[in-house]
């Protein structure tokens, strides 16, 4: 099981924008494929469980550790195909909200996408 630590600059927190667990083209066949399994035409992605797992760990935190834990990511979206976990996130100054929950003073500093293989 691999893991990755996500972190933001001082004064900013993580906002998870997307999580992909599966394999989409045109990912190189060597990516997350230690046994050189054929991945020609592989096009699969898991459901919402992967996003919920990463958000639970990281959303609103300045740093977090995400493990590529298959038991937490949801049902296998493509049995027999080597998969990867890709986390897209941004770092921003934490927002405050009004009673109508409109964000105020949100400054995005960076956007990233990291493979946790």
Domain map (residue ranges) of the chain: 3-116
CATH number of 3-116: 2.60.120.740
Half-sphere exposure of 74 (CA within 13 A, CB side): 18
pLDDT tens, residue by residue, 70-110: 888 888 888 888 888 888 999 999 876 544 433 433 333 34
Q: What percentage of the chain reaches a pLDDT higher than 70?
A: 75
The whole-angstrom separation of Cα 13 and Cα 5 is 13
pTM for this predicted structure: 0.74
pLDDT at 107: 34
pLDDT at 101: 38
The whole-angstrom separation of Cα 117 and Cα 114 is 9
């Amino acid at each position: 099981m691999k893991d990755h630590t996500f972190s933001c600059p001082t004064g900013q927190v993580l906002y998870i924008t997307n999580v992909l667990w599966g394999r989409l083209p045109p990912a190189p066949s060597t990516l997350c494929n230690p046994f050189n399994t054929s991945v020609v035409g592989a096009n699969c992605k898991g459901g919402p469980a992967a996003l919920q797992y990463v958000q639970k760990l990281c959303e609103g935190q300045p740093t977090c550790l995400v493990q590529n834990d298959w038991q937490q990511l949801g049902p296998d979206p493509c049995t027999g195909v080597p998969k990867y976990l890709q986390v897209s996130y941004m770092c921003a100054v934490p927002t405050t909200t009004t009673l109508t929950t409109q964000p105020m003073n949100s400054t995005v500093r960076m956007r990233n996408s990291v493979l946790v293989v």
